[in-house]
Amino acid sequence: MTVLLTDDADGVRTLTLNRPHRRNAIDAELWEALRTALEEAGRDRSVRALVLTGAGGAFCSGADISKGLSSAHPVYRMRTLTEVTLLLHELPVPTVAKVTGVAVGAGWNLALGCDLVVATPEARFSQIFARRGLSPDCGGSWLLPRLAGLQQAKRLALLAETIDAEEARALNLVTWVVDAEEVDAFVGDITARLAAGAPVALAQTRHLLNENADRTLREALAGEARAQAVNFATADVREAYAAFAGRRDAHFTGGWAVPAATAQRSEDET
């Protein structure tokens, strides 16, 4: 059985955790598959948005502990988790988690690592680590205080309570709650809008918002200035202005504004 399904449609890549018999708990094979898939998505310029979801009515029940403790040193096991988490956070495209059923432990933190989270009313969430004698991983200790505030983060992590989708939304841990029969169409609409956006500008915006949470205003402004310099070097800005003037929708490509011949002359002159 393929533990991670990949589907591409109109610039949107969907990664589906596919271990429904274990409520998509992540074992070593699935961690490796996720790492490879995220690396490929980051390199593939045809990918304009990414959806992370689970098969069989669950998102992810966390790391698979059904086989007991691994004989491998935890340092090596955690290295893979860290790499997957960073790849997800640093992707150059917007990401959406589509959560149906349970999202627990590392599974919930992978959902929180996406830019937007769409959940059905049946979804349930838990930072289950304390019940396993563990502390949060996959970025949970960084994400929870920033999204829900320090006190609520401590409540969720220390008590390992299970909360429903509406409470998760109230805590800023879910972006939208959408009925199960409507969730596919809703996510499809969101990702279509993201895929139609200016890819370089969206990548810059995603990076700025992720990084500026713990920066000073001066550092944030410097980062914004660098990002805008990158954005103005794309053809998308020119296209946006032309579309506005022509009262039409813009068609963004992420292309460079400087023609190849001009760029070559500039290089020859230096």
Domain boundaries, the chain: 4-195, 199-269
Q: Which residues contact 115 (CB under 8 A, 6 or more apart)?
A: 94, 95, 96, 206
Predicted pLDDT at 70: 65
Residue 144: is its pLDDT beyond 50? yes
Predicted pLDDT at 259: 66
C-alpha 176, offset from chain centre: 15
Residue 4: is its pLDDT beyond 50? yes
Query: What does the pLDDT look like over 20-79, one tens digit per residue?
Result: 999 999 999 999 999 999 999 999 999 999 999 999 999 999 988 776 656 666 777 788
Residue 260: is its pLDDT beyond 80? no
Say whether 261 sits in a helix, a strand or coil.
Answer: helix
Predicted pLDDT at 132: 87
58, 101 in Cβ contact below 8 A?
yes
Predicted pLDDT at 171: 98
Predicted pLDDT at 270: 47
Q: What is the mean pLDDT of residues 136-141?
A: 93
Percent of the chain with pLDDT over 70: 93
Q: Which structure tokens are listed for 131?
A: 């019940």
> What CATH code would you report for 4-195?
3.90.226.10
Using pLDDT thresholds of 50, 70 and 90, give the confidence band for residue 262. Answer: low
Q: Which structure tokens are listed for 192?
A: 């279509």
Query: What does the pLDDT look like over 102-131, one tens digit per residue?
Result: 999 999 999 999 999 999 999 999 999 999
Q: What is the mean pLDDT of residues 133-152?
A: 93
Q: Give the β-pairing of 116-119 and 95-99.
A: parallel
Q: Do domains 4-195 and 199-269 have the same CATH topology?
A: no
Q: What is the mean pLDDT of residues 204-231?
A: 86
Which CATH code, of 3.40.605.10, 1.10.12.10, 2.60.40.10, 3.40.50.1820, is assigned to 199-269?
1.10.12.10
Predicted pLDDT at 265: 53
